[in-house]
Amino acid sequence: MKILICGDSTAATFDPKETPIVGWGQLLADHLPGVEVLNHAMAGRSTRTFLQEGRLDALDGLIAPGDLVVVQFGHNDGGNKPERHTEPRGDYTENLRTFIRFIQARSGVPVLMSSICVRIWENGVFQPSHTPYREAMEDLAKAEGVPFADLYADTVSIVTSLGEEGSRALYRDDNTHTLRAGADLFAAAAARRLEPLLSHS
């Protein structure tokens, strides 16, 4: 049994010689001993561009019955670049449904996972991010009867427990991409979400 990841830069694998950015998917296997992880997350992708570029089709033949396929998008879907942007209750939901159908057709288990939080503090108060996309994803998961893994909630808990200054060490200066320390904590949280699904798939 294995886990495959479809997502954006926050989950992607990076070369440490080129950047200090580390995606949580890069470290997931460290927290799930004996589980193979195939990380297909790619920087800069939204549900729209991931599908348009045939990146989901590339998983054909890789998904075995019972494999978990994590789908995590939202950062770029909610961005201001029109070629990436999707509407939460429109094409974002429809694109996620395309992922679900593709995975189920190959007897895999689709897991819709909410995006990690952006580290935004204003006057000492943590600010939410991606709320419309998270809510749309959760509603779709319920409607489709597929697992919803709320990594957003987990990462908010981690960031707020560390506080504005303490959480600074988890992220790059853009407060979106994680350094190794953040990726490791977030990968551990993702593993806790996925572990119960592994035993039932």
User: What percent of the chain has pLDDT above 70?
Assistant: 99
Decide: pTM greater than 0.95: yes
For residues 101-122, give the mean pLDDT. 98
Q: Say what the pLDDT of residue 1 is.
A: 85
Structural domains of the chain, count: 1
For residues 80-106, give the mean pLDDT. 97
Q: How far is it, in rounded angstroms, from Cα 150 to Cα 115?
A: 8
DSSP code string of 124-172: TEE---SHHHHHHHHHHHHHHT--EE-HHHHHHHHHHHHHHHHGGGGB-
The residue segments making up the domain with residue 163 are 2-200
Active site residues: 9, 174, 177
Checking if the pLDDT of 45 tops 60, the result is yes
Here the tokens at position 56 are: 């989901």
Per-residue pLDDT of 140-164, as tens digits, reads 999 999 999 999 999 999 999 999 9
Asked if 77 and 120 touch (Cβ cutoff 8 Å), the reply is no
For residues 49-56, give the mean pLDDT. 98
Per-residue pLDDT of 1-15, as tens digits, reads 899 999 999 999 999
Checking if the pLDDT of 201 tops 60, the result is no
Q: Say what the pLDDT of residue 200 is.
A: 66
The Cα-based distances of 193 to 13, 98, 104, 157, 200 in angstroms read 20, 23, 20, 14, 13
CATH number, domain at 57?
Answer: 3.40.50.1110
Per-residue pLDDT of 73-91, as tens digits, reads 999 999 999 999 999 999 9
Q: Position 15: which residue type?
A: D
